[in-house]
A and B are shown apart, each in its own frame.
Chain A
Amino acid sequence: MIKLEHLVKQYQNQRALDDVSVTFEDNQSTVIVGPSGSGKSTLLRTIDLLTHPDSGTMQIDDITVDFTKEISRKTVRAIRRKSGMVFQNWNLFPHLTVLQNITEAPRTVLKQSKAAAESRAYELLQSVGLAEYAAQYPTQLSGGQQQRISICRALAMGPEFLLLDEPTSALDPELETQVLRILEEIAAKGQAMVVVTHNMEFARLVADKIVFVEDGQVLFAGPVTEFFTTENQRIQNFLAGLSLA
């Protein structure tokens, strides 16, 4: 379980996190939604310590960090062992082949043997339907394919939590659907995920829990069914604003 409490992050003209407290459960998918610039990504990036809030605490299993203090490298590594990150622009390593992109971290960080890392990588590639691209370089593939590979790269480290920062925002609708289907399958296997997304259909289908963020504050955190039937006027307006009907 990830437990965030009283997070505050002040940028020059903007409070990205304004006393945010929220928990993410094991084996569940949580979807973070909200308008652009609401602090969703800041919240997600905090979990992987890519963003350092000014204050607040985070607890992941038995590790607790206090953001007012400097976090030791050991703690940073321990936390990153528990989570895997998927970026909006996938950020694959361009100089490595698809296979090497997936095996590099297990071999370097987990000291896995080449054979073990590669056989796991092929399994993952198979599961996203890209095994035949193992020897290619990322730039030879489409955005949707690259994003599916970056999901494999993150999963190869066996993270407790898979964190996804707007994983389909840079893709056209067809490719987006391909990536979302993969995520749906991964979620169905019980992989805990925290996903920042604008795709409400995905939220409705896959999420166990929804967190709605606006102006750095959590306005809603609860089961997905409650979210879509909430009386909260602001959330109703937000949902109405996304629909053509």
Chain B
Amino acid sequence: MTSLPELVAAGIKFTIPLAIISFAFGLVIAVITALIKLARPRGNALVKGAWSVLVAIAYFYVWLFRSTPLLVQLFIIFFGLPNLGVQMPAFTAAVITFSLNTGAYASENIRGALLSIPQDQWEAAETLGFTQSQTLFKIIFPQAIRIALPTLSNEFIGLVKDTSLASSITILEMFTVSQQITAKNYEPLLMYCLVAALYAILCSILSILQHYLEKRTSRYIKRGEN
């Protein structure tokens, strides 16, 4: 049991930061990707042409990251890119991979949530004189967050567990440390169960947080409805 502090330290130093930073970047990427797919910009042929290129890139990006294994993506970015002269620390490579992967999945959640807000809400805001971005930030996003919360929570919880894959690119996160300890004390069952329990505790905390956020963002919904 002397190994517990070591595992917890690895969690605090690597697993948790890796998950939080990657999820934050992933969310930003997801929102941008969803908006690229949904927006229909006004303007001349040049603007529209440029936009359709962006849309094509967005679709390609989501397809690419949803159609290939996360571990393979991690290997390509950390071990593969140096062949092209792109070298980076392991932690950076992990953040980039996890962010892009989360972004691809979450963009579809966010796109669905945005589409579920009735067109009426856009019209009401428009007629009051809101600009498109004011409508988006003040009227649409606050309602879409409520819809997207359960699926985004799923993404986040999935990501916390997926950070264990970073052990394969030399990052000293919880799972790596549990392997190192096992190599010394020959207690694989104990060690791996211990690290599993730590992941479970982390994810349980997130579930509680999700429950709290769902309650908070649903304040305005009538009981019995939804």
Contact pick for B220, options A95, A108, A110, CB 8 Å: A95
B interface residues, Cβ below 8 angstroms from A:
42, 120-121, 123-131, 134, 138-139, 142-143, 146, 219-222, 225
Q: Which residues of A contact B134 (CB under 8 A)?
A: 108-109
Q: Which of A15-23, A79-87, A177-185 contacts B (4 or more CB under 8 A)?
A: A79-87
A211 to chain B, nearest CB (A): 21
**Contact A105 B222, beta carbon cutoff 8 Å:** no
**Contact B222 A140, beta carbon cutoff 8 Å:** yes
CA of A32 to CA of B203 in the docked complex: distance in angstroms? 59
Decide if A104 is an interface residue (CB 8 Å cutoff).
yes
Decide if A91 is an interface residue (CB 8 Å cutoff).
yes
Decide if A77 is an interface residue (CB 8 Å cutoff).
yes
**Contact A70 B42, beta carbon cutoff 8 Å:** yes
B interface majority secondary structure:
helix
A interface residues, Cβ below 8 angstroms from B:
48, 50, 70, 73, 77, 80-81, 83-85, 87, 89, 91-96, 104-105, 108-110, 137-140, 153-154, 157
Known: A93-B139, A94-B220, A139-B225. Is A87-B124 also a contact (CB below 8 A)?
yes
Contact pick for A139, options B124, B125, B222, CB 8 Å: B222
Known: A108-B138, A139-B220. Is A91-B129 also a contact (CB below 8 A)?
no
B174 to chain A, nearest CB (A): 38
Who on chain B is nearest to A80 by CB? B129
**Contact B129 A109, beta carbon cutoff 8 Å:** yes
A65 to chain B, nearest CB (A): 15
A160 to chain B, nearest CB (A): 13
Known: A77-B131, A80-B126. 13 other contacts (CB 8 A): A50-B123, A80-B129, A84-B127, A87-B124, A92-B124, A93-B121, A95-B143, A105-B128, A108-B130, A109-B129, A138-B220, A139-B221, A154-B127
**Contact B221 A91, beta carbon cutoff 8 Å:** no
Q: Which residues of B contact A84 (CB under 8 A)?
A: 127-128
7 pairs of A and B residues whose beta carbons are closest in the complex? A105-B128, A85-B127, A91-B124, A109-B129, A137-B220, A139-B222, A91-B120
